[in-house]
Amino acid sequence: MTDIISAAPAFTFVSDTGNEVGTTNGQLIELGSHFTVAIQRPSKAIGRIDSGNGDSSTTVLDGEAIWVNGAKENMYGTTRQPGDIDASLDFLAEQLGVPRQLRDFFSKELTASLGSAMKSGYHVGEAMISGVLCDHLGLRSETEDVQVWIARGDKPVPRRIMITHRDLEGQPQFWAQFIEWILSPELSDTTFTLSPPADATRVQFFVDVP
């Protein structure tokens, strides 16, 4: 799985996700989203997030700049792109609080990062995920329990991921169910172009690249 994803020059996927967050009374509430993502290495990507509350946003890396558009607010902002996809996703996570749970699965260093982060792992068994026969793995790092269901066959892509944050209060979970993977997509420069509505308001980007 890691060899295929980290070596792919381009890929797309669609997924549903759930992310638990703590409330002031200590209850965990799950926030759901629908992700549509396209990656073209080394430096182009586009991701649309449709949140469960009806809001949506699109983030584009066009190789030179980062563009973020919020549909509900009808606003957009842009700043210089700090580097390749890995560097840009790190910037978005560290400066803007963009969720990082799937960040490693976009990385060309996926094999190395999982290998160094995970302290133990074992094969739980076989499982069916949306009609696809998968190998179910249980992995553990210093702070997280990770389960991943990997499709059997010649395209061993992840079909489901679940992460339990043991170091956080209440041990909240994040999960992603992958609906579709395309490992040889037809992409062009126009794929990675953000065209905000004509009446959208441009705002100063939250943080500029140092």
Give the tens place of pLDDT for each residue, 27-54: 999 999 999 999 999 999 999 989 888 8
Task: Report the CATH number that the domain containing residue 72 is assigned in CATH.
Answer: 2.50.20.10
Ranges of beta strands (E only) in 2-131 are 10-22, 28-40, 44-51, 56-62, 65-70, 75-80, 120-129
The tokens for 150 are: 């990997």
Q: Is 110 helix (H, G, I), strand (E, B) or coil?
A: helix
In a domain, residue 107? The reply is yes
Please report, to the nearest 10 degrees, the dihedral formed by the alpha carbons of residues 135, 180, 81, 188 taken in order: 130
Q: Would you say 66 and 81 are in contact if contact means Cβ atoms under 8 Å apart?
A: yes
Sign for the CA dihedral angle at 187, 192, 193, 199 comes to: positive
Residue range of the domain that includes 129: 2-202
Strand partners, 181: 13
| Count of structural domains, the chain | 1
Provide, rounded to the nearest whole percent, the portion of the chain with pLDDT above 90.
55
Residue 161 maps to a domain: yes
Contact call for residues 196 and 69 (beta carbons, < 8 A): yes
Digit-by-digit pLDDT tens for the chain (210 residues) are: 888 888 899 999 999 999 998 888 889 999 999 999 999 999 999 999 898 888 888 999 999 999 988 888 888 888 899 999 988 988 888 776 666 667 777 777 777 777 778 899 999 999 999 999 999 999 999 999 999 999 999 999 999 999 999 999 899 999 999 999 999 999 998 999 988 888 888 887 766 555
pLDDT for the residue 9: 93
Cα gap 3→169, rounded to integer Å = 34
Question: Has residue 175 been placed in a domain?
Answer: yes
Element (H, E) at 117: helix 110-117
Residue 208 lies in a domain: no
Is residue 113 in a domain? yes
Inside any domain, residue 106? yes
